[in-house]
Amino acid sequence: DQQVKQNSPSLSVQEGRISILNCDYTNSMFDYFLWYKKYPAEGPTFLISISSIKDKNEDGRFTVFLNKSAKHLSLHIVPSQPGDSAVYFCAASANNFNKFYFGSGTKLNVKP
Amino acid sequence: EAQVTQNPRYLITVTGKKLTVTCSQNMNHEYMSWYRQDPGLGLRQIYYSMNVEVTDKGDVPEGYKVSRKEKRNFPLILESPSPNQTSLYFCASSIFPPGTGLTSTGELFFGEGSRLTVL
């Protein structure tokens, strides 16, 4: 049973608009969340993270929002660029878990 | 350059023929892990290692073995590969084990992946 879920396998947005990628989790013990970005034929690379003591973390065009009561996090990309086209994975962990739990990924396509 | 290196990148093999996928990191990371990526299932952890000679099972360890004799290397061994092990494999490392987000970023550094096909 997947503890981290990304229910949208794909998302298509126009260049310059906002991209919103969603992630839900079931384990209330999770207190650290990350987003990874993956291009074809490459390994995932770290994008942004958030700990449960915050509800928002921003890094340039990327912002992650955490709603603990809903067990939901989202990644906002503003403005979206064609180079953002990739698969995005969310991941979660907790103290002493010694592992990350990953979602199934959302493929983002940003159209010029 | 800081990196995680996997070999081979691509491999086609037959059922039952033992193979090893090597993984090496040059960042002096204590934590290393293997994942497999399958459509619709995302990244699932196979095995992980907290340090030299310390390894433990992840979510899908059946059919795999690992060893951690040196800090930099963490090979994945398929003793008798089967078609259901056809997948894209990633090795990853981090300075701290996941779950220490309150004191460090703790993100994983991934290799470029090894695509394995078992016929």
Q: What is the DSSP string of B80-91?
A: S--GGG-EEEEE
* Tokens 């979602």 belong to residue: A103
Report the pLDDT value the prediction gives residue B101, as an integer from 0 to 100.
52
pLDDT at residue B35 in the model: 97
Nearest CA in chain B to A37: B110
Strands A106-111 and A10-14: parallel
Strands A45-51 and A32-38: antiparallel
**Are residues A106 and A87 in contact, defined by beta-carbon separation less than 8 angstroms?**
yes
CB proximity list for A41: less than 8 A, separation 6 or greater: B112, B113
Q: Residue A84: helix, strand or coil by DSSP?
A: helix
A32/B108 touch (CB, cutoff 8 Å), yes or no:
no
A40 vs B: CB within 8 A: no
Q: Which two tokens stand for residue B28?
A: 């002096």
Q: How far apart are CA A30 and CA A95, in angstroms?
A: 8
- C-alpha closest to that of B86 among B13, B8, B33: B13
Contact of A37 with A102, CB cutoff 8 Å: no
Residues of chain B with Cβ-Cβ distance to A31 below 8 Å are 101-102
Q: Which residues of B touch A7 (CB under 8 A)?
A: none
- Which residues, given as ranges, of chain B have pLDDT below 50? none
Mean model confidence pLDDT for chain A:
94
In contact, A65 and A53? CB cutoff 8 Å: no
- Which chain B residues have any C-beta within 8 angstroms of a chain A C-beta? 4, 31, 33, 35, 40-45, 48, 50, 56, 58, 90, 92, 97-102, 105-113
Q: Can you read off the two tokens belonging to residue A49?
A: 């993270």
For chain A, give the percent of residues with pLDDT over 90.
Answer: 86
Contacts of A99 by beta carbon, 8 Å cutoff, 6+ apart = A93, B33, B45, B48, B58, B98, B99
Q: Give the pLDDT confidence score for residue B32 in this predicted structure.
A: 95
What value does the mean pLDDT take over residues A62-90? 97
Q: Count other Cβ atoms within 10 Å, centred on residue A81.
A: 13
User: A99 and B98: CB-CB below 8 Å?
Assistant: yes
User: What is the average pLDDT across A36-56?
Assistant: 93
Q: What is the pLDDT of residue B104?
A: 52
**Residue from B51, B59, B108 to probe the interface with A (highest A Cβ count within 10 Å):** B108
Q: Do A32 and B42 touch (CB under 8 A)?
A: no
Q: Which pLDDT does position A98 carry in this prediction?
A: 79
DSSP A82: G
Task: Output the pLDDT for position B106.
Answer: 67
pLDDT of residue B100: 57
Task: Give the tokens for residue A13.
Answer: 């947005």
Calpha distance B107→B8 (Å, rounded): 24
